[in-house]
Amino acid sequence: MKITLSQLSFHTGNFEGNTQKIIDAIHTAKLNGTDLIVFSELATCGYPARDFLEFKDFIAQAEASIDTIAKHCVGIAAIVGSPRTNPIIEGKDLFNSAYFLEEGKVKQVTDKTLLPNYDIFDEYRYFEPNKSFQVIAFKEFKIALTICEDLWNLNDNPMYITTPLDELIKQNPDFIINIAASPFSKTQIAERRNTLQGNAKKYQLPLFYVNHIGAQTHLIFDGGSSVISSNGEVFSELAYFKEDEKSFEIQKENQLIIQALDENNALKLDRNKYQDIEDALVLGIRQYFQKLGFTKAILGLSGGIDSALVSYLAEKALGKENIWAVLLPSQFSSQHSIDDSIALVNNLGIKHSIIPIENTYQSFMSTLEPFFAGTSFGLSEENLQSRSRGVILMGLANKFGYILLNTSNKSELAVGYGTLYGDMCGGISVIGDLYKTEIFELCVYINREKEIIPNNILTKEPSAELRPDQKDSDSLPPYETLDQILHFYIEDRLGPSQIEAKGFERALVQKILKMVNMNEWKRWQAPPVLRVSKKAFGPGRRVPISGKYLY
């Protein structure tokens, strides 16, 4: 039997486009002699569909898509992920399902058993868990079909009572298929691979895995579909961060024999985390624009490392002809910031403009002078500079059809070191899930072969340049210290005493954690953040604005 793994990018709610993409892949595979083609989880509707799943019309379109796809499955079988209506009155209205299509119709349906309800996942909000288990018989093979989380119950302290493969293995399947929508994070590729290998080794069965590729707003799906041998070794992997497909021949003799039918099946399992982060963010930007129907990005270029990195990523994602970098110097901006920005845009070959903001800022100050009279220069005056820049950038974006890219980093977002309606403006936060220290490391990696981001940007002390001789260190501890504390609190969810035990001063820990909690209200108004960590700001981190924990 010839099986093809089809790793495609799907667009949430775009039933016509998704269905046609699946049908095209089926026709191509059929011409190439494929017996079974496998697509990813919720392929018809895209993942995550979120509250679209509450619309009966949305589900009706998904089910109609399955009927249309099934008609093309003659002389070839397909496995396609799609939601389906729960035919029983009890329980949730829907199942997260994998349809087995053959002979022009739906032959069998497998429903997802384990529904993740943590971090960015909220599947139990919509779906009823499966409670019955049946392998799929196709040709001379029996297939244990599972859906994403169904394989993630391997550890010593399992999250779920049921493990689907423990039930399916009783029916003596020949191999496992898992269709998934597993989003990228800096640690997910290794964790996912270990999980797949652990399942294959535990059940001593080959495993065919198909993952989503692409991005849905803040979530990035990296692909990496794979075949794992029954001894737990990675037999083959599809590409990361792009669409791909591979075919395999399966023969049933004394044991199952798998042969790759791809001319280039050389495995490259070593990953570089900086290249993965770069590829993920580029993909996230590109698909955000494509799926919204935009092509052009604008951003404010300050001469600092954050906006420099976003400029580089945007140019890679959208092309230099579609990027507009705007320098917005004030009376406090240094000449080296302007010079460094010009050097960057020249290196990238992108369009730039210089728009001084002093007159705009002074206009605001004149309007507010009767109210500010008798007060000293402070935070309000600093924020007015940032908001002047935000107004200008949004005006240009609206007028000429650009999307403004936000350039705030995770360290700033965590402690509130940003101005609402100023530098926190934007349609998408590109690096809001990277700490400042990670941004430096990524930029050094980008410059590994030649200087793209000017070295002066990498070596100068960070500054918002909102008052004379201002430095980030005036308000914050060194980023090396700050980022460690933030990581322990945000990613590792450690409390203050646990962080203190790591060697940090009590007063500093309390100060930083208080800043994080008191600035939650700002983050609720920030643009969506491209997720590259296990705990990004946004839907995956839900804390109350008005809570009083730790202060």
Q: Which residues are catalytic?
A: 41, 112, 148
Work out the end-to-end distance of the chain between its first and last CA atoms, rounded to an integer number of angstroms: 63
Cβ atoms of 526 and 429 closer than 8 Å = yes
Q: Report the b/e string of 217-245 with b at 16+ CB within 10 A.
A: bbbbbbbbbbbbbbebeebbbbebbeebb
Which residue type does 143 have?
A: I
The number of angstroms, rounded, from the C-alpha of 229 to the middle of its chain's C-alpha atoms is 28
CA distance to 53, 313, 321, 489, 534, per residue, from 219 (Å): 18, 17, 26, 22, 11
C-alpha 193/C-alpha 217 separation (Å) is 25
Backbone angles phi, psi at 251, to 5 degrees: -125, 140
Question: Measured at the alpha carbon of residue 429, what is the angle toward residues 426 and 431, in degrees to the nearest 5?
Answer: 140
C-alpha 455/C-alpha 444 separation (Å) is 9
C-alpha 398/C-alpha 392 separation (Å) is 10
The angle, 0 to 180 degrees and rounded to 10, between the axes of the packed helices 379-400 and 358-372 is: 130
Question: Measured at the alpha carbon of residue 264, what is the angle toward residues 263 and 268, in degrees to the nearest 5?
Answer: 160
Q: Look-up: residue for tokens 């980008």? A: 446
Cβ atoms of 271 and 280 closer than 8 Å = no
C-alpha 37/C-alpha 101 separation (Å) is 10
Q: Which residues contact 162 (CB under 8 A, 6 or more apart)?
A: 113, 114, 153
145 membership: H or E segment, kind and range: strand 141-147
Cβ atoms of 218 and 285 closer than 8 Å = no
